[in-house]
């Protein structure tokens, strides 16, 4: 109920602001646009701004203004690289989404007459709403995500009795390149995260010393663009490059092999509502195409075929923002926007549970909570420095409790450099 109310509030805000676009003069397709340096931050065409600056017609045939026009074009052009109108326009005023996600693969439950329940210290799936945009881009970027209390251990083992939480830090290097004349792009992400190793004496589960997480590639294509609205679609492919989860219950060893290839199709839409208001949204599915195997020389399977299929997830992400400052001619801070986002993650099928038994020991692996509905709120700032560099910071808080709460809070930092 909470997530339905929150999405209704955001949708109502967007619908109320929509009629304002007609009064503000939405930019027309086929014209490059910039932001004037007056207090209102009015959108004006690139050509009109040059003509107004020269106080005479653009492109004087006398030739005396040719160099001046070229210099003005370089200094006043809002878009780096001089993109074509179809891959630019007012939609370029919408910053990338900030993101939120951390979704565990379930729990590992160990038995030896007592019990230990631990979140799987595994890898996370790729999500399009994390530092992505509906519009194709040329950029390199860095992301940091710090999740506080992202995992929980509840143990009655004689070697450790009690409950504790642990955090996860993730660092991502990324590269996006436009294709097909600017209407498509390919994005590659190389993520790293702090290893998690849970050692309770009679129970262990962890990733060893490996920092590499699952590598992801995303292809995106711009489907349509009107005056101030853009629509795109694509898919992400997540490859199992992270380490396996190894562990033991007393004398019985097990390995949860990281083998799943995830396919994640998505649809995205963005819109400039007024000169200052904007919004962007994504809908995405995350599908495990082949599953992960639980293997052991000490355990034997009791639930064939001894495979663990990750649950199919639905992501719904809505981002809205307001430009607090916009001046492309400023010496350092050329733009500052406040952003607010809602992120929903829900399971679309029941969880696979794999169990195995050894000599007096047993292990169960899977999402013991089965269905979950996660709703997170993200609030942050987006700052631009010149035409190519932006830096962003945000905080994420869960809006639900229990098994629908994946962490206590998250800190986000992102840097993008356009080329």
pLDDT at 284: 98
- pLDDT exceeds 60 at position 141: yes
DSSP SS3 for 156: strand
DSSP-assigned states of every residue in 360-393: S-EEEEE-TT-S-EEEEEEEEEEEEETTTEEEEE
Q: What is the pLDDT of residues 338-366, one digit of tens each?
A: 999 999 999 999 998 887 776 667 888 88
Q: How far apart are the C-alpha atoms of 328 and 169, rounded to whole Å?
A: 34
Q: 277 pLDDT band (50/70/90 cuts)?
A: very high
341 Cβ contact list (under 8 Å, min separation 6): 97, 98, 99, 100, 129, 317, 318, 319, 320, 377, 378, 379, 380
What does the pLDDT read at residue 306?
74
- Look at residues 134, 69, 109 and name the one whose alpha carbon lies nearest to residue 283: 134
CA end-to-end span of the chain, whole Å? 44
Q: How is residue 55 annotated by DSSP?
A: T
Q: What's the CA dihedral at 338, 330, 327, 10 to 10 degrees?
A: -10
Q: What pLDDT, on a 0 to 100 scale, did the predictor assign at position 368?
A: 84
pLDDT at residue 118 greater than cutoff 60 = yes
Query: How large is the greatest C-alpha to C-alpha distance in the chain, in angstroms?
Result: 94
Question: pLDDT digits over 200-217, tens only?
Answer: 878 888 888 889 999 999
Pairing outcome for strands 277-288 and 313-326: antiparallel
Span 177-205, average pLDDT: 91
Q: State which CATH number among 3.30.420.40, 2.60.40.1230, 3.90.79.10, 2.40.160.40 fits the domain covering 90-418.
A: 2.40.160.40
Q: Between 250 and 17, whose confidence is greater?
A: 250
pLDDT mean over 274-295? 94
Q: What is the pLDDT of residues 309-336, one digit of tens each?
A: 899 999 999 999 999 999 999 999 999 9
What is the pLDDT confidence band of residue 44, given thresholds at 50, 70 and 90?
very low
Omega before 337 within 30 of 0, i.e. cis? no
Cα separation of 182 and 217, whole Å? 18
Give the strand pairing for 43-45 and 33-35: antiparallel
Separation between Cα atoms, residue 212 and residue 357, nearest integer Å: 31
Whether pLDDT at 123 is above 80: no
For residue 66, is pLDDT > 60?
no
Strands (DSSP E) found in 93-138? 107-111, 115-119
- In the predicted model, is pLDDT for residue 119 greater than 80? no
The predicted-structure confidence for 147-163, as pLDDT tens digits, reads as follows 998 888 887 766 677 78
pLDDT at 165: 82
Place of tokens 């981002």: 319
Quick count: other Cβ atoms within 10 Å of Cβ 300?
A: 10
Residue matched to tokens 């942050």: 380
Find the mean pLDDT for residues 392-418: 95
Q: How far is CA 6 from CA 36, 95, 408, in A?
A: 35, 22, 19
For residues 410 and 160, what is the distance between their CA atoms, to the nearest angstrom? 28
Radius of gyration of the chain (CA): 25
What pLDDT is stored for residue 117 in this prediction?
67
Structure tokens at 300: 């034997």
| 10-34 mean pLDDT | 40
Does 399 score more than 60 pLDDT?
Answer: yes
In this structure, are strands 409-418 and 107-111 parallel, antiparallel, or unpaired? unpaired
Secondary element (H or E) of residue 10: helix 2-17
CA 110 to CA 204: how far, in whole Å?
9
The model's pTM is 0.78
Here the tokens at position 367 are: 């999402």
3-state secondary structure of 405: coil
């Amino acid at each position: 109920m909470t997530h339905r109310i929150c999405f209704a509030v955001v949708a109502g805000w967007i619908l109320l602001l929509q009629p304002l676009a007609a009064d503000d003069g939405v930019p027309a397709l086929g014209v490059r646009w910039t932001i004037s340096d007056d207090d209102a931050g009015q959108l004006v065409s690139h050509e009109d701004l040059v003509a107004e600056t020269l106080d005479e017609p653009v492109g004087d045939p006398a030739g005396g203004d040719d160099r001046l026009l070229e210099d003005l074009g370089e200094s006043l052009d809002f878009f780096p690289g001089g993109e074509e109108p179809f891959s630019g326009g007012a939609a370029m005023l919408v910053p990338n989404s900030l993101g939120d996600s951390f979704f565990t693969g379930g729990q590992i439950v160990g038995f030896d007459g007592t019990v230990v329940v631990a979140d799987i210290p595994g890898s996370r799936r790729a999500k399009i709403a994390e530092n992505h945009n509906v519009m194709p881009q040329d950029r390199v970027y860095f992301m940091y995500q710090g999740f506080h209390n992202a995992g929980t251990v509840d143990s009655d083992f004689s070697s450790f009795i009690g409950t504790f939480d642990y955090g996860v830090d993730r660092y991502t290097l990324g590269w996006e390149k436009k294709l097909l004349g600017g209407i498509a792009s390919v994005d590659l992400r190389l993520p790293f995260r702090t290893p998690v190793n849970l050692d309770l004496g009679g129970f262990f589960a962890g990733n060893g010393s490996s920092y590499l997480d699952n590598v992801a590639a995303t292809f995106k294509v711009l489907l349509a663009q009107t005056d101030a609205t853009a629509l795109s679609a694509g898919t992400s492919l997540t490859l199992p490059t992270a380490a396996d989860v190894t562990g033991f219950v007393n004398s019985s060893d097990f390995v949860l092999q990281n083998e799943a290839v995830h396919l994640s199709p998505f649809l995205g839409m963005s819109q400039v509502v007024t000169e200052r208001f904007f919004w962007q949204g994504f809908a995405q599915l995350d599908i495990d195409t082949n599953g992960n195997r639980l293997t052991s020389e000490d355990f034997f399977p009791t639930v064939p075929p001894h495979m663990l299929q990750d649950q199919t997830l639905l992501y719904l992400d809505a981002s809205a923002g307001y430009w607090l400052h916009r001046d492309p001619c400023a010496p350092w801070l050329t733009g500052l926007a406040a952003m607010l986002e809602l992120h929903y993650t829900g399971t679309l099928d029941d969880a696979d549970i794999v169990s195995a038994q050894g000599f007096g020991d047993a292990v169960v692996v899977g999402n013991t909570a089965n269905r979950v509905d996660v709703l997170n709120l993200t609030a942050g700032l987006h700052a631009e420095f010149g035409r190519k560099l932006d830096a962003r910071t945000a905080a994420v808080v869960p809006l639900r409790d229990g098994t629908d709460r994946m962490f206590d809070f998250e800190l986000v930092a992102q840097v993008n450099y356009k080329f």
